Amino acid sequence: MVYLTRVEHFNAAHKLYNPNWSKEKNEEVFEGCANENWHGHNFDLYVTVKGEIDPETGFVMNLKDLSKLVKQHVLTKVDHKNLNLDVDFMQGKMASAEVLISEIWKLIIPHLPVGVQLHSLKLYETHKSFVEYFG
Amino acid sequence: MVYLTRVEHFNAAHKLYNPNWSKEKNEEVFEGCANENWHGHNFDLYVTVKGEIDPETGFVMNLKDLSKLVKQHVLTKVDHKNLNLDVDFMQGKMASAEVLISEIWKLIIPHLPVGVQLHSLKLYETHKSFVEYFG
Amino acid sequence: MVYLTRVEHFNAAHKLYNPNWSKEKNEEVFEGCANENWHGHNFDLYVTVKGEIDPETGFVMNLKDLSKLVKQHVLTKVDHKNLNLDVDFMQGKMASAEVLISEIWKLIIPHLPVGVQLHSLKLYETHKSFVEYFG
Amino acid sequence: MVYLTRVEHFNAAHKLYNPNWSKEKNEEVFEGCANENWHGHNFDLYVTVKGEIDPETGFVMNLKDLSKLVKQHVLTKVDHKNLNLDVDFMQGKMASAEVLISEIWKLIIPHLPVGVQLHSLKLYETHKSFVEYFG
Amino acid sequence: MVYLTRVEHFNAAHKLYNPNWSKEKNEEVFEGCANENWHGHNFDLYVTVKGEIDPETGFVMNLKDLSKLVKQHVLTKVDHKNLNLDVDFMQGKMASAEVLISEIWKLIIPHLPVGVQLHSLKLYETHKSFVEYFG
Amino acid sequence: MVYLTRVEHFNAAHKLYNPNWSKEKNEEVFEGCANENWHGHNFDLYVTVKGEIDPETGFVMNLKDLSKLVKQHVLTKVDHKNLNLDVDFMQGKMASAEVLISEIWKLIIPHLPVGVQLHSLKLYETHKSFVEYFG
């Protein structure tokens, strides 16, 4: 079994804000991330699939297909968007990297070819912080 | 003469939108960057100063002072902000990297110690694009 | 369960030297790393914790708290220090990346919030070498 | 148990081409990678071993020995080579990153010191794609 | 005047081989780079243009146009190609990074919009080496 | 004229300490960098030369020769060394990046081939700071 990773990038705006809390509590917990006028990030998304090598291609799966799949089912929904306002699958949820990565998992899973499993996602939010999810 | 560079990071939301144009023309020219609900970036700012080496310190200028200066006069104004809505010096201007870097230049110039010149700024907006300004 | 990683940096001097060995044997095994006058590195420390997402914050844990914790309990002890001479928890031990990472583990474990586990540490010593530890 | 990783680099030419298929099918599946006159990459190889810390050295294994081993048994065979034409262990196989990493595994395994296990290999083919193998 | 840089990537095979020299001299001068069966690289190309900021867009030039221009006039000719065999503008020339960058300059110059100048190109051949050209 | 850059790495210990000052003043100015027991860095050195392309090789100069030159005349003197104690050309000088880069310049200049000029040096001390020197 070999693990294959594709890295894609997207840019988005968001804020961290719990509507059940006061503005003061939001600012205490989330500091600058609670700015009501939003801030944003360049997100780097690592999508890792695993499977046996197909002897005819030498591939676990065609990397171009993996890239297209991620662009079609994830990037069109989040790139140059506001995670809180524009993204259907984030409605009513906290727009944190942790929630985002667990939702992106659900977007990719149905589209993988037979015999290929989604192993993990990694999402960089800044140079100094990232989250990982294994389902 | 030696050139000394400090790299600082900030995250911000923005959109590229010319209010004198129709929504259609904005979307034609700026594509996803015109999204009315904003998007955002991790910006990397390189601040390069130049000067003679002070024989007592071995420094062009103290790097910690350069970092503090950039944090105090630039990052407090743009980090975790909306460049269009929250930033006084960007009011009425296009929120492009080109305009931003030329405005940041003006924020830093007055605060450098005697004998030290601002040589250049470099601002990464994504992994694949950056602007530079020499005054 | 989601994994959250914070990256922190520190600079330190060290040497690799076994006091039970001759100078010749130390130089044969450790080559330049045995230089009696020390050498040093920029160390990059990746701290990965895991836990369930808190529905109120969207966080496994607050990244700012994780950063503070690492700065307070690790960086204050090793940053701009000599790992052999200045660092209490390295006394009498070889100042290798392997030993250092296993000791840093013990410094972080007691300070994590309830429900959050330390999953792994990664420590880059150079661009081309790093160690990882899972407890 | 601590995990130790050494990163090495090599440059090579290759093409992805299944001789049992028509030229058209090869170009449909592999696109530019099927170019009959080859293309090439800078490959980054991460070799991760694991073991207990030797109390006399503080090492899982001597990093310089790991580097020499990889250079001697892997890099001399693939660096500045054509993976399809020049590399004995790739003859009759698809020259994909997946096949290459699983073959490199076999080259390293016999040469590790007693008590040290090969844990994983990671092979970057471009900035945006890599494979991993765990045996 | 502001400087704007776009980074693009391509993969190619090449060899360094002077047909007026013996095989022995080629191997002495170019070492592994003279391998008759080719080797290859991931090339990173930095294209820097300069100009005044257009007040209507905030741009020196539209980054998407710059990217398209480089893809159309450069990448289609070199990406997944053999620099010695497949690339018309390299025929009869040494396939070095120095020659390549000076030829790429000529490909870009005619296609820049009025008021925008090509300032420099930078071409990374490996992690540890690159060339720059200013016309 | 083409500019050619080679990147080399070295690790060293140093401290910033002016012997004409009190310990208190040293700590006030240099903070942790004044630690009497040293600290250290991974230094990345970029050496840029310029010249005309030699039509026989396609090179400004042979990159392998440039690398050997820097290793022989610079790295053997500073790699795995203490910049204050072990390095002859730094004796009696402040061990800052600014002073170091201006001294490294003198070490390289005499060894370049005819027709090749040293254009610049860049020295990274941390991820966030570097110095440049043009002679």
Q: pLDDT tens string for chain A (135 positions)? A: 999 999 999 999 999 999 999 999 999 999 999 999 999 999 999 999 999 999 999 999 999 999 999 999 999 999 999 999 999 999 999 999 999 999 999 999 999 999 999 999 999 999 999 999 999
Three-state secondary-structure class, residue C3: strand
Alpha helix positions (H), A86-126:
97-108
Q: Which of C33, C41, C73, C119 is catalytic?
A: C33
Nearest CA in chain C to D53: C98
- Do C and B touch, 3+ Cβ pairs within 8 Å? The answer is no
Predicted pLDDT of residue D85: 98
- E47 with E109: CB under 8 angstroms? no
User: Tens digit of pLDDT for each residue in D24-52?
Assistant: 999 999 999 999 999 999 999 999 999 99
Nearest CA in chain F to C31: F80
Task: Say if the Cβ atoms of B129 and E59 lie within 8 Å.
Answer: no
Task: Say if the Cβ atoms of D32 and E79 lie within 8 Å.
Answer: yes
Task: Say if the Cβ atoms of C40 and F41 lie within 8 Å.
Answer: yes
Task: Say if the Cβ atoms of F2 and E93 lie within 8 Å.
Answer: no
Task: Say if the Cβ atoms of F37 and C86 lie within 8 Å.
Answer: yes
Active site residue F8: no
D 45-74 → C contacts, CB under 8 A: 48, 53, 55-60, 62-64, 67
Nearest Cα of chain E lies from the Cα of B57 at a distance, in angstroms, of 31
Nearest CA in chain F to E130: F5
Specify which residues A118 forms β-bridges with: A49
Instruction: Determine the longest span between alpha carbons in chain B, in angstroms.
Output: 60
Of E18, E31, E102, the CB nearest to F56: E18
Of B3, B56, B62, the CB nearest to F131: B3
Task: Say if the Cβ atoms of C80 and F12 lie within 8 Å.
Answer: no
Nearest Cα of chain D lies from the Cα of E9 at a distance, in angstroms, of 9
F 92-111 → E contacts, CB under 8 A: none
* DSSP code at position B75: I
Size of interface B-F (CB pairs under 8 A): 58
Please enumerate, as own/partner, the contacts of A61-64 that have beta carbons within 8 Å and a separation of 24 or more. Answer: A61/A4, A61/A112, A61/A113, A61/A116, A62/D29, A63/A4, A63/A6, A63/D129, A64/D31
Average pLDDT over residues E111-119: 98
Task: Say if the Cβ atoms of A98 and C58 lie within 8 Å.
Answer: yes
Task: Say if the Cβ atoms of F98 and B62 lie within 8 Å.
Answer: no
What is the DSSP secondary-structure string of chain E? Answer: -EEEEEEEEEEEEE----TTS-HHHHHHHHGGGG-TT-EEEEEEEEEEEEEPPPTTTS-SS-HHHHHHHHIIIIIHHHTTEETTTT-GGGTTS---HHHHHHHHHHHHGGGSPTT-EEEEEEEEEETTEEEEE--
The CA distance from D65 to A111, in Å, is 44
Q: Which of F98, F106, F130 is the best mutation test for B, with the most CBs of B within 10 A?
A: F98
Chains that touch D (3 or more CB pairs under 8 A): A, C, E
Task: Say if the Cβ atoms of E13 and D9 lie within 8 Å.
Answer: no
- Do A and D touch, 3+ Cβ pairs within 8 Å? The answer is yes
Q: Residue C85 — pLDDT band, cuts 50, 70, 90?
A: very high
- Do F and C touch, 3+ Cβ pairs within 8 Å? The answer is yes
Q: Does B11 touch chain E (CB under 8 A)?
A: no
What is the DSSP secondary-structure string of E50-85? Answer: EEPPPTTTS-SS-HHHHHHHHIIIIIHHHTTEETTT
Of F3, F48, F57, the CB nearest to E94: F57
Q: What percent of chain C has pLDDT over 90?
A: 100
**Torsional sign, CA F20, F23, F24, F26:** positive
The CA distance from B98 to E57, in Å, is 10
Nearest CA in chain F to C126: F42
The CA distance from B130 to E3, in Å, is 8
Q: Does E119 touch chain F (CB under 8 A)?
A: no
**In this structure, are strands B117-126 and D129-133 parallel, antiparallel, or unpaired?**
unpaired
Q: Tokens representing E39?
A: 């080797």
Predicted pLDDT of residue F80: 98
What integer best gives the mean pLDDT of chain B? 98
- Which residues in chain A are closer than 8 Å to C45, comparing Cβ atoms? none
CB proximity list for A132: less than 8 A, separation 6 or greater: A101, A120, A121, A122, A123, C2, C3, C5, C48
Q: Does A41 touch chain B (CB under 8 A)?
A: yes
What integer best gives the mean pLDDT of chain E? 98
Average pLDDT over residues E119-126: 98
The CA distance from A13 to A84, in Å, is 8
The CA distance from E11 to F39, in Å, is 40
Q: Does F6 touch chain E (CB under 8 A)?
A: yes
- Which residues in chain F are closer than 8 Å to B64, comparing Cβ atoms? 31
Average pLDDT over residues F39-63: 98
Predicted pLDDT of residue F70: 98
Nearest Cα of chain E lies from the Cα of D135 at a distance, in angstroms, of 27
User: Tens digit of pLDDT for each residue in D69-89?
Assistant: 999 999 999 999 999 999 999
- Do A and C touch, 3+ Cβ pairs within 8 Å? The answer is yes
CB proximity list for F8: less than 8 A, separation 6 or greater: E128, F44, F45, F47, F67, F70, F71, F74, F75
Of A38, A42, A127, the CB nearest to B13: A38
- Which residues in chain C are closer than 8 Å to A130, comparing Cβ atoms? 4-5
Task: Give the domain E2-133 fold.
Answer: Tetrahydropterin Synthase; Chain A (3.30.479)
**pLDDT, averaged in runs of 10, over chain B (135 residues):** 98 98 98 98 98 98 98 98 98 98 98 98 98 98
The residues of D annotated with a catalytic role in the active site are 33, 80, 125
Q: What b/e sequence results for A75-111 when a residue is b if at least 16 CB atoms lie within 10 Å of its CB, and e otherwise?
A: bebbbbbbbbbbbeebeebbbbbbbbbbbbbebbeee
- Which residues in chain D are closer than 8 Å to A8, comparing Cβ atoms? 128
- Which residues in chain B are closer than 8 Å to A11, comparing Cβ atoms? 39-41, 126
Chains that touch A (3 or more CB pairs under 8 A): B, C, D
* DSSP code at position C53: P
The domain limits of chain B are: 2-133
Q: Which of A53, A124, A132, A134 is the best mutation test for D, with the most CBs of D within 10 A?
A: A53
User: Tens digit of pLDDT for each residue in F54-94?
Assistant: 999 999 999 999 999 999 999 999 999 999 999 999 999 99
Q: Does D131 touch chain A (CB under 8 A)?
A: yes
Please enumerate, as own/partner, the contacts of A61-70 that have beta carbons within 8 Å and a separation of 24 or more. Answer: A61/A4, A61/A112, A61/A113, A61/A116, A62/D29, A63/A4, A63/A6, A63/D129, A64/D31, A65/A113, A66/A4, A66/A6, A67/A6, A67/A8, A67/D128, A69/A108, A69/A111, A69/A112, A70/A6, A70/A8, A70/A45, A70/A108
**Torsional sign, CA E75, E80, E86, E92:** positive
Nearest CA in chain D to E41: D41
**Cut 0.95: pTM above it:** yes
Task: Say if the Cβ atoms of D32 and E80 lie within 8 Å.
Answer: yes
**Distance (Å) of CA F65 to CA C46, C127, E93, F70:** 37, 23, 22, 9
- Which residues in chain F are closer than 8 Å to C40, comparing Cβ atoms? 11-14, 38-41
Q: Which of E33, E41, E73, E119 is catalytic?
A: E33
Average pLDDT over residues F122-133: 98
